Structure 1
């Protein structure tokens, strides 16, 4: 991901602004995907969480995170802020903020229906303000000389064009820690080993969320070039091929299950982010297809064998498919497989592993401290009532609640 302003600064500002708006729209996709997957008594909470997390992310990324990642702050007067490039860095902040805010949106789906509201916002502040930008700066700004070291040791730096690891794997592995510390929803698993189904409340909303994410993803990937002259049609085609590969594979392996089909498309898109600018379109189709299979297999494994109540399957979808996307660059990006070259399998493995370790350690510290000193789970009565009424004092269908009362 490049950040140098081009010779046509006004055009680049407008271009990147359109990308920021597309990725901002993806947060509506996160909201409706969660809304459609959780039970009816948690739908309002899903909507409010995503919006509130975005607000907190904006504040901490503006004052802390963007400076940690790129060494840039916005404390000067207006003349100094707009002196060069029509305020390119300001719109670049907006664009990269939408990436950063995707991390708590991902986590939200894993911990749905039983997390306390304010402690989760506090976790968002620390993760987006401190943990995420630490790794973001390493990968996309060359901080601490780690990318230079990768180049020296492996012959190429770690390549993550649009965030398979920087955004998605980070969010997914952070969510894994939070899900484990929270424990399952009440009644999800019986003491006798039984598993009690908690089916999605609204498949149309789930599908709507997936479609909004799919559309916004082309801004996420294509506009990660950040300059008009750097845009590649290859990125758009690879994104398309990967989403279709993920969707068709998940559709087949999931035997027509709509949840697998719609999330399979997202799995393919997660996996192609890192290498969308260097892999051949057939390679993108394979990457997406493998990601779809990963999601179907691991979602079932996590829910039924590991008994981790990851409500939306965000660890398989974002965490593991993001890891696969990072590693896949070192395979399908090679010239021998039709890729653009300039990548290294060793660097891709090392860079991906570093991201996973930072995500796990950072999430363990943040959520571990919050659980110990504040508490992160709703009390049994509030959880039984549902977070909509317990936290927000209104349900998604208030007329029906009144009639039942």
Structure 2
């Protein structure tokens, strides 16, 4: 029976990893549908290459930083057939599918950042930033929260009455990606032509609403692997997580529909805002509370996306800081409100623990974002030249457009 249970756990986590891996196609098509036609190829290539770079960085360094386990041992040990000190991968190689699952989370960080820096970022400096973020920055905080490194969770419990609860990564993944992206976006500066001489924004509509919608649907479907399978065992599965994710998604959609006045971009991103926010407390909140958390997140996205672009002149192309950074921060804090028994939650959380843990995560990510992209900016440069940006990243970096045959016909 032990072998059967371990095999089921391996299969369960593997299916979760595949679902979250599929979310990266959602990130890609969400960006493809939002950026201008001349930057669509770059969006596709950038996200799949970032995943590969993330895989290498997390395999060689990141997983060791977070969990103290490396993979440079024999295949016998990796499969679980043999256990050596410091390298117990479990029956059926459970530790290997756990790595795959957690890698898909880690690789979401550069996928999130990609949407903010779209249309004007150099290719190879971004790949270098990905290696640094996924190899060192992200796993350091991941290890604090999900592995209790450096006594972080013990300190939270002693100081605020409960450990910091971030079940599926509102802070560890989404706020981390969103606040790092803020540093990257500010370091890059605004796209040329984004604002007129009088400072008013020049409208740049999405290039393809269908692709944008496809990206959202892929992300929403994969998100149930992201949230539910964060239990990482068959025994730990709980339908409450699925229900809370569903209700938060619906709350985000409806709130963004109203706040965004039926704008399709806001509606589709509203679903994602709700899902981002519910990650932290999806294991402890009541579905009604999750609906409220998702609805607030939908409004946060709409309001702060408009403030970023229209008032603050922060050219965050896909709005990843409002979506992941601010909605993720709200989700971490909201877990300490709607997770309380007094509001129908399961308890085991405190408001102060969630507030402090969330703010620490956001602050750490923000500082890291400005540091990493600031260093790359002053050393090798992170932005395309003026002519390259005018031509578009597709032709400037990849020497091919999204529809090569049409381009050739037009030239002829």
The verdict on a shared fold, with TM-score over 0.5 as the criterion, is: yes
Question: Equivalents in 2 of 1:400, 1:186: separation in Å?
Answer: 26
The 2-side partners of 1:395 and 1:82 are apart by 44
Kept in 2, the 8 Å contact 1:303–1:309? The answer is yes
* Structure 2 counterpart of 1:54: 51
Q: Which residue of 1 aligns with 2:17?
A: 20
Q: 1:192 Cα shift?
A: 1.5
Check the 8 A contact 2:200/2:310 in 1, yes or no: no
Q: Please identify, of 175-184 and 185-194, the stretch whose mean Cα deviation from structure 2 is larger.
A: 185-194
Does the 8 A contact of 2:266 with 2:302 survive in 1? yes
Q: Shift of residue 7 of structure 1?
A: 7.6
| SS of equivalent residue, structure 2 residue 235 | helix
For the residue of structure 2 that corresponds to 1:228, the secondary structure is: coil
Hey, what does 1:35 align to over in structure 2? 32
Matched residue of 1:230: which SS?
A: coil
Distance across 2 between alignment mates of 1:400 and 1:199: 21
Matched, 1:377 2:383: yes
The residue number in structure 2 matching 1:352 is 358
How many angstroms does 1:399 deviate by?
2.1
In structure 1, distance between residues paired with 2:157 and 2:406: 61
1:366 aligns with 2:372: yes
Task: Please give the root-mean-square deviation of Cα atoms over the aligned residues, in Å.
Answer: 1.0
Question: Are positions 1:223 and 2:229 aligned together?
Answer: yes
> TM-score when scaled to structure 1?
0.98
Q: Which residue of 2 aligns with 1:312?
A: 318
Does the residue aligned with 1:208 lie in a helix, a strand or coil? helix
Which secondary structure does the structure 2 equivalent of 1:199 belong to?
coil
- Offset at 1:228? 0.3
Structure 1 residues 6 and 318, CA gap change in structure 2 (3 angstroms):
farther
Asked whether the equivalents of residues 165 and 281 of structure 2 are also in contact (C-alpha less than 8 Å), the reply is yes
1:190 corresponds, among 196, 207, 219, to 196
* 1:398 corresponds to 2:404: yes
Unaligned runs of 5+ in 2: 81-89
Aligned partners of 2:240 and 2:299: how far apart in 1? 24
Which among 164, 167, 172 is matched to residue 178 of structure 2?
Answer: 172
TM-score normalised by length of structure 2: 0.96
Cα 1:372–1:285 change in 2 (3 A) is: same
The secondary structure found in structure 2 opposite 1:308 is: coil
Give the secondary-structure state (helix, strand or coil) at the position aligned to 1:241: helix
Q: Find the aligned partners of 1:273 and 1:67 in 2 and give their Cα distance.
A: 24
Cα distance in 2, alignment partners of residues 192 and 233 from structure 1: 53
Secondary structure at 2:114's aligned position in 1?
Answer: helix
- Paired residue total: 401
> Any runs of at least 4 consecutive aligned residues in structure 1 with deviations exceeding 2 A, and if so which?
none
